[in-house]
Amino acid sequence: MTDPDCIFCKIARGEIAAKKIHDDADVMAFHDIRPQAPVHFLLVTKAHIASLYDAGPAHQAALGKLLVLAGRLAREAGATDGFRAIINNGRVAHQEVYHLHMHVLGGPESLGPMLARK
């Protein structure tokens, strides 16, 4: 499924340019337009899934692929000493783009704590 108005569907269809680092039938990866770490790319499913709230058994293979690809792509992008994988879901997590995506963020320096402590 693809959404005509969704920005990541448009990237998947090639209608909007992105610095792609992986592309296959199920998933693609491209650099985040506003990087928050020296390595910062997004892994997205080709299918339009709004968030993990909307994921079902039909998406299992593609979502597994996101996890399996993350380490290899992180290493290839230069994050050889650790990285963080983040999926923001919904309002509380400040999800901006409602097309499921996994952020991969990496060093070389420490990324700091997972969340700022209050």
Q: Give catalytic residue positions.
A: 101
**33 or 61: CB nearest ligand 5GP:** 33
Residues β-bridged to residue 41: 31, 104
Distance of closest approach, residue 88 Cβ to ligand 5GP, in angstroms: 4
By CB under 6 A, tell whether 33 contacts ligand 5GP: yes
Residue type, 99: H
Indicate which of ligand 5GP, Zn ion, none lies near residue 94 (CB less than 5 to 8 Å, by partner kind): ligand 5GP
Residues β-bridged to residue 27: 45
CA distances from 6 to 1, 13, 15, 60, 116 (A): 11, 11, 11, 22, 31
By CB under 6 A, tell whether 21 contacts ligand 5GP: no
String marking each residue 74-103 x if it binds ligand 5GP according to CB under 6 A: --------------x-----xxxx------
Specify the DSSP class assigned to residue 52: G
Place of tokens 């269809």: 13
Rule CB under 6 A: which residues touch ligand 5GP? 7, 16, 18, 30-34, 88, 94-97
